[in-house]
Structure 1
Amino acid sequence: MVMKEGYKQTEVGVIPMDWEVKEFVDVIDGFSSGQTPYRAITDYYKGDIPWITSGELNYNVITDTIEKITIEGVKAANLKILPIGTFLFAITGLEAAGTRGSCGITGIKATTNQSCMALYPKKGVLTTPYLYHYYVRYGDELAFKYCQGTKQQSYTGAIAKKLPIIVPPSIKEQTAIATALSDADALITSLEKLISKKRNIKQGAMQQLLQPKEGWEVKKLGDVIINFQNGYGFSAIGYVKSGIPIITMAQIGLNGSFNFDETKVNFWKPEDFSVLKNFHIKNGDLIIAMTDVTPEKNLIGRMAIVKTNQTLLLNQRVGLLRLDNTKVNAYFLKTLSNMRSWRTYCIGSASLGVQANIGTKDILNGELSLPNINEQNKIAEILYDMDTEITALEQKLEKYKKVKLGMMQELLTGKTRLV
């Protein structure tokens, strides 16, 4: 491979000739971790001084904490009050919980427990914003490589000091990089807030529009459908690498979405396609989860509308509802399956345990309060438009996140220079 002029190969990759790979100890003046005051003295936890734990480090600016301690607790544990703008990273954590390698910056004066380490960059050598963005990009990789332990990985102070960091030579360039990435973060955050607002508006609209009103009729689900089809018991022995996708309860989201990803489903041999015609599902079909292994049993009875450009196969413990379109609107019914009354009925009717199951009879006997079909169609159109807007915003958000990842790769390796 021909090296681009002005760049060099290092242990962390290709960087500009005038950039350096240093250890944290070379660019950071101080490393300090917190402590937990003696827990038997519960009065220590009735104060107003924010006390940060690693679970609150979520690549964010920390503006509040779950627990707060008293000044007596601070003194008893010999804690340090950290100034606003202090960089923190988790020195203990779990990969599965997402706490391993996480970091944040204090937006308030606070102290920490022993799971967090505060770092103070050397003035004129390294800026905190650059350190933060560098660690957002590389923190999980560093933790994976350098943390010790199995069940709960952790850093020691000695290990933390040896961590590598790519350092641009000037504060001006570090600032330009951090500013560009902070602007991207601000755009992402504003879009996340807008999506949250739209979801809240939709939730309010659902509560209002789906609340039973005068003239609505209570009907059993079995009275408004033509047929209910249980899925087929496919055996793992018959799975093939490429064929007809099999739809399971995993494709039904907790919000009623259809989560189909061909990389995450099993396939059945195409030569059985005609034989399995009773278990075909296609675009627009309504399916329902009949089994639930989630801890809160929030999936049981949820419905989703199939979105696909091909014919799929229905697995056991997922039901197919063939609706009478003169009596019920699929989108209206799918939305109703997210409402409390239906949720309560399904959970109450299911056989509970590690795996919850609801039978065909209980599903068909479930009661729903329905307006006439014309009103259903109008309500469904309103909610569909809201969902469409939210989905477009979510897709835009994912695009922005991917753009930011690309920016990080370009800027933090010097492939693109801003000064």
Structure 2
Amino acid sequence: MNDATVQAPKGWKAVPLADLASFRTGPFGSTFHKSDYRNGGVPLINPSHIIDGEIVPDEQVAVAPDLASRLSVFALRENDIVIGRRGDMGRCAVVRSHQAGFLCGTGSMIVRPRPGVSPELLQAFLASPKVIAKIEENSVGTTMINLNQGTLSALEILLPGSEHRQQAIAAALSDADGVVAGLERVIAKKRLIKQGAMQDLLTARRRLPGFSGEWEVKRLGSLGVCLRGVSYDGSADLFETETPDSIMLLRANNVQNGEIVYSDVQHVRKERVKPVQCLKRGDVLVCMANGSRTLVGKAGVFWDGDGPAYTFGAFMGCFRPAAGAAADGYVPFLFQSDEYRNQLNVILSGSAINNLAPSQILGFSFKMPVDHSEQQAIAAVLSDMDAEIQTLGSRLTKARAVKEGMMQILLTGRVRLV
């Protein structure tokens, strides 16, 4: 790959990535068996866990610590760069100190900067659109592009000729990363606080002031319905971009850590979608089937009912609360509770098939306040916590956008710090 990816500004030079980093491809898919995965173990980082340049692990995609120890050669270190090597080449992120020890997944690769090389600088180059296009052009594969070490080694990175300038750019990007990382830590802490409050309030372990009424056991089948997702022909009915005849489609990858992520959304032909399959505010999306058992049952609440129309895929389910059966907004929180996970694990442990039937979801039961006003009060407390987390999430999105803008001007030489 002799040509530089972009025109070099005066005083800059093209350097092969092999001179700046070493590489390690993630383990083969056969390394892991279904029984190896568990909730809350050592996270595996695959391309789907790299979102907006940051590592976002899924607690349900993890392996036991003893297995992780045997696979320590694939353990991520602080300041490594983990990059997707299958399909979407635009996903790469710097490993932070609290993420050291996570495992590189089968669909990823480790780029390990050599001493003195800024990981933020390398990650910024690898995430730039022109470099991504060059990587895709030189990668192998037909149905799915695969990135290999040879392609990365030959890739030429543009750097300022002055080490002082390199350090100035790296420091500026590091400061921007610090703002992003700080917000991420606050959000993680708020989520833990919410999780603790949720487990207390949804089990009557702690009662809100003014409430002392009875609780009763309710089946989800008495609180709503469970719908199956849209069936479609992947080659004829799916579109990467919106068309006049399509509707946005949410799939398992759009449910992350109990929330719905609206990146990497597909579009499906409208005629395939029944009216009842159009999502409504307060619907709970559930992954009903997946090759990985740890992903089955993960759920996220759809709160965007006033925006664009969305539907959900064939391997997903939708629990739709019935009007008046419970206080508005209460039932969705049950899908985030320990009791939900416990009942899910009982079902999955007794089956050799990694899927759920709507009837099984409807059979889940939970202890709930009889008084709807207490349900409403609990939902209000948890919703306020969600709102605070969403506000912080908006600040995080803006901070990432500022960092992206800095990358565009600093890594092309359009603005020089020194």
If the TM-score is normalised by the length of the shorter chain, which range does it land in? 0.5 to 0.7
Asked if structure 2 preserves the Cα contact closer than 8 Å seen for 1:244 and 1:312, the reply is no
Q: Secondary structure at the match of 1:384?
A: helix
Aligned counterpart in structure 2 of residue 137 of structure 1, from 106, 115, 124 = 124
Aligned counterpart in structure 1 of residue 15 of structure 2, from 13, 16, 23 = 23
Question: What amino acid is aligned across from residue 304 of structure 1 in structure 2?
Answer: V
Question: What amino acid is aligned across from residue 20 of structure 1 in structure 2?
Answer: W
Residue of structure 2 equivalent to 1:253? 255
* Relative contact order, higher structure (CA 8 A, sep 6+): 2
- Which protein shows a greater Rg? 1
User: How do 1:36-47 residues align onto structure 2 when only pairs under 5 Å count?
Assistant: none
Residue of structure 2 equivalent to 1:95? 85
Residue of structure 2 equivalent to 1:393? 392
Aligned counterpart in structure 2 of residue 200 of structure 1, from 170, 192, 198 = 192
Residue of structure 1 equivalent to 2:346? 348
**Cα separation, 2, equivalents of 1:250 and 1:293:** 8
Question: What amino acid is aligned across from residue 204 of structure 2 in structure 1?
Answer: P
CA RMSD of aligned residues (A): 4.8
The Cα of 1:416 is off from its aligned counterpart by 0.7
2:229 corresponds to 1:242 = no
Asked if structure 1 preserves the Cα contact closer than 8 Å seen for 2:93 and 2:123, the reply is yes
**Cα separation, 2, equivalents of 1:287 and 1:232:** 12
Label 1:183 to 1:103 Cα distance change in 2 as closer, same or farther (>3 A).
Answer: closer
The Cα of 1:289 is off from its aligned counterpart by 2.8
Asked if structure 1 preserves the Cα contact closer than 8 Å seen for 2:279 and 2:302, the reply is no
**Cα separation, 2, equivalents of 1:170 and 1:250:** 46
Deviation per CA, 1:78-106: give whole Å up to 9, x if none.
xxxxxxx9x9789xx871499x9887799
Residue of structure 2 equivalent to 1:329? 327
Label 1:378 to 1:184 Cα distance change in 2 as closer, same or farther (>3 A).
Answer: same
The Cα of 1:414 is off from its aligned counterpart by 0.8
Label 1:359 to 1:174 Cα distance change in 2 as closer, same or farther (>3 A).
Answer: closer
Asked if structure 2 preserves the Cα contact closer than 8 Å seen for 1:305 and 1:331, the reply is no
The Cα of 1:195 is off from its aligned counterpart by 1.1
**Cα separation, 2, equivalents of 1:282 and 1:342:** 22
2:8 corresponds to 1:12 = no
Structure 2 gaps, min length 5: 25-44, 55-67, 71-77, 98-109, 206-211
Asked if structure 1 preserves the Cα contact closer than 8 Å seen for 2:286 and 2:297, the reply is yes
Asked if structure 2 preserves the Cα contact closer than 8 Å seen for 1:252 and 1:289, the reply is no
The Cα of 1:410 is off from its aligned counterpart by 1.1
The Cα of 1:246 is off from its aligned counterpart by 6.3
How many residues are treated as equivalent by the alignment?
334
**Cα separation, 1, equivalents of 2:96 and 2:227:** 52
**Cα separation, 2, equivalents of 1:233 and 1:170:** 56
The Cα of 1:230 is off from its aligned counterpart by 3.1
Deviation per CA, 1:11-41: give whole Å up to 9, x if none.
3323433x1324359x97x99999xxxxxxx
Deviation per CA, 1:360-395: give whole Å up to 9, x if none.
3x3333211001211111111111111111122223
**Cα separation, 2, equivalents of 1:258 and 1:105:** 24
Asked if structure 2 preserves the Cα contact closer than 8 Å seen for 1:346 and 1:358, the reply is no
Residue of structure 2 equivalent to 1:295? 292
TM-score relative to the length of structure 2: 0.62
Asked if structure 2 preserves the Cα contact closer than 8 Å seen for 1:254 and 1:299, the reply is no
| Identical positions, percent | 22
**Cα separation, 2, equivalents of 1:148 and 1:245:** 32
Question: What amino acid is aligned across from residue 7 of structure 2 in structure 1?
Answer: V
Label 1:224 to 1:232 Cα distance change in 2 as closer, same or farther (>3 A).
Answer: closer
Asked if structure 1 preserves the Cα contact closer than 8 Å seen for 2:250 and 2:312, the reply is yes
Residue of structure 1 equivalent to 2:361? 363
2:214 corresponds to 1:212 = no
**Cα separation, 2, equivalents of 1:353 and 1:266:** 31
Q: Secondary structure at the match of 2:330?
A: helix
